Amino acid sequence: MRIGPHTVDPPLILAPMAGISDLPFRRICRRQGAGLAVSEMVHADTRLWHTQKSRLRLHQSGEPDPRSVQITGREPAMMAAAARAAVERGAGIIDLNMGCPARKVMSKAAGAALLGDEARVRAIMEAVVAAVHVPVTLKIRLGLDRSRINAPVIARIAQDCGVQALTVHGRTAACSYQDPVDAEAIARVRETVSIPVIANGDLFSPEDALRMRAITGADALMVGRGARGRPWIFRRMARALETGEIPPEPGPETVLAIVREHLQALYGLHGPRAGVQVARKHIGWYLQGRPGAEAVRRALLQAEDPATQLERITRYFETLPPGEDIAA
C-alpha cells in the first residue's frame, strides 16, 4: 500500500494506542513485521508539548521512516499548527484522530465526537492538508452510534479534502470495544472511495487478518490490542496474507530476546524507575496464556529495578519447554 510517496510493506500497521504505542514498542513492532507504526495521539495544543507525557509521545529518535504522528483536537487552525510542528520534528505522515471513543476525549467534542459535525470535519481536514507538505491520513469509526452511521460520508469528505489514506475501526463510538466489529460496514466504506482504506478492529491472529481482508477488501490492516504482548503478530500475519499458511507462535527463546530488547528500550526512554513501572503492563501482556505465568506474575510485577525485573523475566522464560519457533 502507498501513502503518498511512502510504501507500507507489508500492509500491516500498528495502531496508535495511548500509553502503549511509545517509541520502544513502535520500533519493536516495525522489526517484527509492521510496515508502519502510528504514534500515540498528541493534543493539537502545542503549548502542552513541553510536558513529559507529550515529549515522550513525540520522541522519534531512531525510528524508521516513515514516521506517522497522530494529533487530536477540534479547532482547524490549532490542528494545522500542530501538524506543521510535528512535521518540523520529523513526522512524514500526519494522522488525524476522529475515532477515539474515550470519554475524556469525547467530552471535549474531539476524537469520535467529531463524526457528528461533518462541517467541522471538512474544515479540519482542509486546514491540515493545506498546512503541510506530507501526506495526511484519517482514523475514524463507523459513526456516533448504530442510528448515525456516516463513515461513507466522512470518507468522501476526506477524499475530497486530499486525505491520502483512511483507517476505519469497525465499531461506532457508542459501543467502544464491546460489540463485534462490523467488517461488512468497512467494506461499504472501501467501495465508496478510491483512496486506500485500512481496516481496524479485533485483529488478534493471522486467521483474523485473512478473514478481515477477505470481507473488506481493505488495502491494509491496522492492529491494536492484538499486538500487546505479541508484537510478532505482524510477522505471522504477513506470512499468512502472503502465503495463506498460518505460521506457529515463536518459541520461548525467541520471545525472551524480544522481551529483553523491549524492556531495555523502555528503561532507556523512561529512565530506570519509570521504565520499570511502564514495563509492568507489557510484562503482564507477554505472560498472558503462558504456562505457570500466574505463579510468577506477582514476583515479576513487584520488581522495583531494571536488573531485578530482567533477571526474573529471564529466569521464567528459561524454565519454559522449547516449542516451535519462527525467526525474530
- Active centre residues (catalytic): 100
What is the rounded CA–CA span in Å between residue 25 and residue 262?
Answer: 7
CA distance to 117, 127, 202, 278, per residue, from 222 (Å): 25, 26, 10, 23
Which residues are paired to 138 by β-bridges? 96, 166
Residue 34: DSSP 8-state: -
**DSSP states along 180-234:** PP-HHHHHHHHHH-SS-EEEES---SHHHHHHHHHHH--SEEEESGGGTT-TTHH
**Alpha-helix runs per DSSP H in the chain:** 23-31, 52-58, 76-88, 103-106, 118-131, 151-161, 183-192, 206-216, 233-243, 252-270, 272-287, 293-302, 306-318
**Closest-CA residue to 252 (of 284, 223, 291):** 291
CA distances from residue 100 to 14, 96, 157, 238, 285 in whole angstroms, order as listed: 15, 10, 19, 27, 22
The label of the residue with cell 529483553 reads 260
Q: What are 106's three cell numbers?
A: 469525547
Residue 296 grid coordinates: 510468577
